[in-house]
Each structure stands twice: as C-alpha cells, then as structure tokens.
C-alpha cells in the first residue's frame, strides 16, 4: 500500500478479520402447539375412531413435537361422507363468486399468520426458515389468491364448454413442501366446486392441521375440506375409497404406480405428480457465476428434497473444470445447520429414513467409482443432517445418475454438443423439469423444444408461480397444477 509503514503507536493493533455470522434463530414464540391433535372432519376436530396417536418429530433435533392421530378405514369413511354431504349440501351449487370469497379469505389469513406457519413448517419438516418464510408460505397464499380469481370465471376458462365439478377429491400430499402442496391441491379443487379429503404426509402433518384452523376461521362450510392425518395405510384407504370421484397424489413414483393400478377401471379421475431426475444443462457461453448459484439453488434448495431438483448437472466439456471449481468453492460457503437460523442454507433432512436412503445412495456412488466432494462442515450433533455432496466422474449407468436421491447430492456429467445434451437429458424414465443455461436465446428455444420435461427453466431454476403450470411426463406423472391448466384435473367439461 505505502512505504510509510513505520509502526505508529497511536494505532491499535489489527488482527486478521474473518466473517463470522451470528446464530440468528427465528423465534418459535408465534407457534402455540397442542400436544395432541385429532382429525379435521365435518368442520371440527374429532378423535380418531381407534384412538391411535403417533408422535411427529422435529428432524433438526430428533425430538417429538406433538402427537397426531392415525386415521383408519372408519375415519376415512367418515371424512369422505362429510365431504360428500358438503358437496351435495350446497358447495357444488354455490356461485363461483361465493366460493371465491372463501378462498380469498383463506389466502389473507395465511398471510396474516405467515410467520407462525413458516416457523411451524421449519420445526416439523427441517427446511431452512429462509425458505419457508420466503417461498413456501407466500407461495401457498399466492395459490389461494390465484384460484380465487378463477372461481367465478370458469365459464370462460374453456371456450364453448362449461366446467362442472367432479365431486369429492382425495388428495394425498408429500412432506417436502407440506403447506404449499396442500395449497396446490386445495385451491383449484375448491375453486372448481369440489369438496376434499386431504391427507398430509406422516412426517409433516402440523401445518395442514394449522391450516384446518384457518379454514374454520374463514368459515368454510363444514365438510368442504377434511384433513386426516395418518400413515401409508390411511392414504391407501382414502384413494381406494369408492365414495371418491377424483384422486390427486404427489409423492414417490413407486406409490404413484400403486395408486394408478388401484384407481384403474374405477372411473375415478387421477392426477399424479411423482419423482424426477432433472437435467440442469450448462453451455460454455453461459453466465458461469450465476450458473453456479443456479446449480446450488437447483440441488441444495430444501436439501435437494424436491421432485424437480436439478440433480443431474450436464456441463459442456469445455467448461467442466471451471464450473466444478466454482461449484466446489461455492459449496464451501454453504451453511448447514439449525433450520430455524436465518443464515442457514441447508437445514435438516426430513426424516431418519430419508437420511438413510441418501447415505445409501451416496455410498453406492462411491462404490461404483464416482468421485465424491463434500465441503468441510460441522454438522449438528443431533438431528438428521447431510452435507452437500457433489459427484464427478459419473457415468450415466451409475445409480446416482439414474435414481432419484431426494437429497443434497449432485451428479456431474458432461456433453460435447447440444444434440448430446438433449439425448443425455432425456435419458431417464422421469420427465418433470429441466434447466438450460446459455446466453443464446435461439439455443434456449431449440433445447426447450426437445426436452421431455413438464417444466423447462432457462437461466434460472426452481422458480414457481401460481400462474405457471407444473407437472411431468412419463414416470414423473400426469396432469398439471397451477394456472388455467391446473383447473382441468378438477372439472368435467360439458357442452
């Protein structure tokens, strides 16, 4: 800097400075959690028929948060009957504008209680508070707002045809975006005049139960929405119930296949949103620093527990070293830990079982000869945590390149030409999402045309909007959620 570096007694000694972030835990004060929870049926909380309760765990600590009911076949019967009664008792005949009022009310109540919902979502599911606060809850409210807007415009949504409701919808949702998935399912179903029995995932029932409070406060007529917690058997009983007209499921491809077989021939309408193994494709001309952020957001968002996660990184061979270098460097700065901390980038894995599955697949990658990189990071002593992981030297035949891991694990593959990128990207039984990174607009369009995926992001990843349809090809399911297309699964079009 300067030659005049003679020691100056006036000046205090200076040390090396390193960035040190505060633990900035979000307060859990807004959440008042009952120790036991019943089922929301016919507009009130009821005891389960068999009286069975199971704990729901905070994955960041391993401790039980509360006990929730396990609904059995009798409870399912009761919930479906309540939904049927509500449908026939007036919901199906209510003018769209009246249904819209309820949906707007729900959306506003969600916004008012956003902090409470965000904290509870993070406590029950382990996702970083930054995500539940900035994405899950606001987007859930946005879905209710969006479909409230459609409720009185259904006559104009499908030209020349009238959209009639189907009846009772059975909706089974996953644990990765508990409240958001409930919103994705409920909002279009209600807007179209259906009634619902919703079953949240076994590990994340709490925000759905809190939503029941909101529905009651919104004075939604009893039975229009029923929320029953439980296990896989509960879900199976619900989707196979003969009183159900429509089944909507988001979750694993394995379960989706079983539901498909079960529903076949019954006349029930079915939509499935299943697994994915998305390709995130990086061309050499892309904005590589933003690509790095996009890759991180694509695979480490919600700890990679996202069906549309960009878990297969396809990089043009000319820039693979640069991209991997940038990525590893960026991974070193990812903060893994307490999901309630506002500085945390990667929170807890949702359950012990999921953590075990991720660990098993990571071990298989190492065993099959791929090269594993994980940054030096100290994981909390308790709870279910997995460091961000990156595999290079991956072949398309490896399990980590084929199977959905549903965790913070990225596999890097390379390509030489755009044709090869297309071939490799589509070389999967799934087809939910894809990412394309290039500064060349014509190439984006050329690639997007050829991607066999329901959602294609260009120069971004994991962006969601209620107006934009979301859904898959092939083993990623069928049917769309969001936008006008998201109305179709919940209506019968009549001339």
Partner 1 sequence: MTDLLAVDSPVGAADAVAGVRITPVDAVGLEQRAALLCARSIKASSKGAALDLAIRVMDLTTLEGADTPGRVHALCARARRPDAADWSVPSVAAVCVYPELVSVAAEALADSPVAVASVAGGFPAGLAPLEARLAEVSWAVAAGADEVDIVLNRSAFLSGRYQRAYDEIAAAKQACGSAHLKVILETGELGSYDQIRRASMLAMVAGADFIKTSTGKISTSATPATALCMAEAIRDMAEQTGRAVGLKLAGGIRTAKQAWHYLVIVGETLGSGWLTPERFRLGASSLLNDVLMQRAKLRDGRYQRREDFSVD
Comparing CB distances to partner 1, the nearer of 364 and 468 is: 468
Nearer to partner 1, 285 or 368 (CB): 285
53-58 sheet: strands from edge to edge: 36-37, 63-69, 53-58
Check: CB of residue 465 under 8 Å from CB of residue 448: no
From the CB of 488, what's the least distance to partner 1, in Å?
31
**Residue 254 catalytic?**
no
Catalytic-labelled residue, pool 307, 308, 404, 481:
307
Chain residues that interact with partner 1, rule: CB under 8 A: 1-6, 8, 10-12, 14-24, 130, 284-291, 293-294, 318-319, 322, 325, 333, 342-343, 439, 459-460
* Cα gap 281→184, rounded to integer Å: 28
The nearer residue to partner 1, 122 or 195, going by C-beta atoms, is 122
CB of 244 to partner 1, least distance (A): 42
| Rounded distance between C-alpha atoms, residue 471 and residue 448, angstroms | 15
Q: How far is the CB of 478 from partner 1 (least distance, A)?
A: 31
Q: At what angle do helices 178-191 and 96-112 cross, to 10 degrees?
A: 160
**Residue among 10 and 449 whose Cβ is closer to partner 1:** 10
Instruction: Determine contact, residues 224/83, Cβ cutoff 8 Å.
Output: yes
Is 57 or 281 the residue whose CB approaches partner 1 more closely? 281
Backbone angles phi, psi at 104, to 5 degrees: -60, -40
Q: For the CB of residue 26, give the shortest distance to partner 1 in the complex, in Å.
A: 11
The CA distance from 427 to 444, in Å, is 19
CB of 480 closer than 8 Å to CB of 454: yes
Closest to partner 1 by CB, 14 vs 261, is 14
Nearest to 230 by CA among 257, 262, 197, 252: 197
Q: Please answer whether residues 40 and 32 qualify as being in contact, where contact means their C-beta atoms are separated by less than 8 angstroms.
A: no
Tell me the backbone φ, ψ of residue 483, rounded to 5 degrees. Answer: 65, -165
Q: Do the Cβ atoms of 427 and 419 come closer than 8 Å? A: no
Out of 26, 121, 273, 475, the active site residue is: 273
Which residue lies nearer to partner 1 by CB, 134 or 232?
134
> Contact at 8 Å (CB) between 393 and 291?
no
- What is the rounded distance in angstroms from the CA atom of residue 278 to the CA atom of residue 485? 22
Q: Which is nearer to partner 1, 232 or 332 (CB)?
A: 332
- 273 among known catalytic residues: yes
Shortest CB 5 distance to partner 1, Å = 6
∠ Cα 128 133 139 (to 5°): 115
270 vs 319 by CB, closer to partner 1: 319
> Does an H or E element contain 116, and which?
helix 114-125
Secondary structure letter of residue 489 according to DSSP? G
Least separation in angstroms between CB 380 and partner 1: 18
| In the complex, minimum distance from the CB of residue 317 to partner 1, in angstroms, rounded to a whole number | 9
Give least dist CB 14 to partner 1, A: 6
Helix/strand/coil (H, E, C) string of 321-353? HHHHHHHHHHHCCCCECCCCECCCCECCCCCHH
List Cα–Cα distances, 319 to 200, 287, 323, 326, 486, in angstroms. 43, 11, 6, 11, 39
Radius of gyration over every alpha carbon of the chain, rounded to an integer in angstroms: 24
Q: The tokens 């990184």 sit on which residue? A: 313
Min CB(133)–partner 1 separation in Å: 11
Distance from C-alpha of 101 to C-alpha of 83, rounded to nearest angstrom:
19
Question: DSSP assignment of 428-458, as one string?
Answer: SS--SEEEEE-S-HHHHHHHHHH--SSEEEE
| Nearest approach, Cβ of residue 4 and partner 1 (Å) | 7
Q: Where are the beta strands (DSSP E) in 214-268?
A: 225-227, 246-250
Closest CB to partner 1 among residues 131, 475: 131
36 dihedral zone (left: phi>0; alpha: psi -120 to 50; beta):
beta
CA–CA gap between residue 112 and residue 30 (Å, rounded)? 12
Q: Active-site positions?
A: 273, 307
């Amino acid at each position: 800097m300067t030659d005049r570096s003679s020691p100056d007694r006036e000046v205090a000694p200076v040390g090396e400075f390193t960035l040190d972030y505060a633990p900035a835990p979000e307060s859990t004060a807004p959440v008042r959690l009952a120790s036991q929870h019943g089922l929301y049926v016919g507009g009130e909380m009821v005891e389960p028929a068999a009286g069975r309760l199971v704990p729901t765990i905070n994955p960041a600590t391993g401790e039980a948060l509360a006990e929730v009911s396990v609904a059995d076949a009798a409870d399912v019967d009761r919930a479906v009957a309540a939904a049927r009664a509500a449908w026939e008792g007036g919901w199906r005949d209510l003018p769209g504008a009246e249904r819209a009022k309820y949906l707007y009310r729900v959306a506003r109540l969600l916004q008012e209680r956003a902090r409470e919902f965000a904290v509870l979502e993070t406590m029950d599911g382990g996702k970083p508070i930054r995500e539940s606060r900035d994405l899950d809850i606001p987007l859930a409210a946005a879905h209710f707002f969006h479909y409230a807007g459609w409720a009185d415009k259904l006559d104009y949504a499908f030209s020349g045809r009238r959209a009639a409701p189907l009846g009772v919808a059975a909706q089974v949702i996953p644990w990765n975006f508990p409240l958001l998935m409930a919103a994705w399912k409920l909002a279009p179903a209600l807007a179209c005049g259906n009634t619902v029995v919703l079953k949240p995932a076994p590990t994340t029932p709490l925000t759905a139960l809190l939503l029941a409070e909101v529905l009651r406060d919104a004075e939604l007529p009893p039975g229009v929405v029923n929320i029953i917690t439980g296990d896989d058997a509960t879900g199976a009983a619900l989707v196979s119930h003969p009183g159900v007209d429509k089944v909507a499921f988001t979750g694993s491809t394995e379960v989706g296949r079983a539901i498909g077989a079960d529903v076949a021939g019954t006349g029930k309408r079915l939509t499935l949103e299943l697994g994915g193994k998305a390709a995130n494709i990086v061309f050499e001309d892309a904005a590589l620093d933003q690509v790095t952020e996009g890759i991180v957001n694509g695979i480490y968002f919600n700890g990679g527990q996202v069906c549309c996660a960009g878990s297969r990184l396809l990089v043009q061979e000319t820039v693979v070293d640069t991209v991997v270098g940038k990525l590893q460097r960026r991974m070193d700065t990812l903060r893994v830990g307490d999901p309630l901390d506002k500085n945390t980038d990667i929170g807890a894995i949702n359950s012990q079982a999921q953590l075990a599955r991720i660990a098993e697949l990571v071990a298989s990658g190492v065993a099959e000869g791929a090269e594993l990189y994980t940054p030096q990071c100290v994981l909390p002593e308790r709870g279910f945590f997995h460091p961000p992981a990156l595999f290079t030297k991956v072949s398309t035949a490896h399990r980590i390149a084929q199977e959905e891991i549903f965790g913070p694990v990225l596999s890097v593959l390379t390509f030489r030409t755009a044709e090869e990128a297309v071939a490799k990207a589509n070389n999967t039984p799934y087809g939910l999402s894809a990412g394309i990174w290039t500064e060349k607009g014509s190439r984006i369009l050329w690639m997007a045309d050829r991607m066999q995926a329901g959602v294609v992001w260009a120069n971004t990843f994991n962006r969601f909007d209620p107006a934009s349809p979301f859904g898959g090809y092939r083993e990623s399911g069928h049917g769309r959620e969001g936008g006008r297309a998201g109305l179709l699964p919940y209506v019968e079009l009549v001339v």
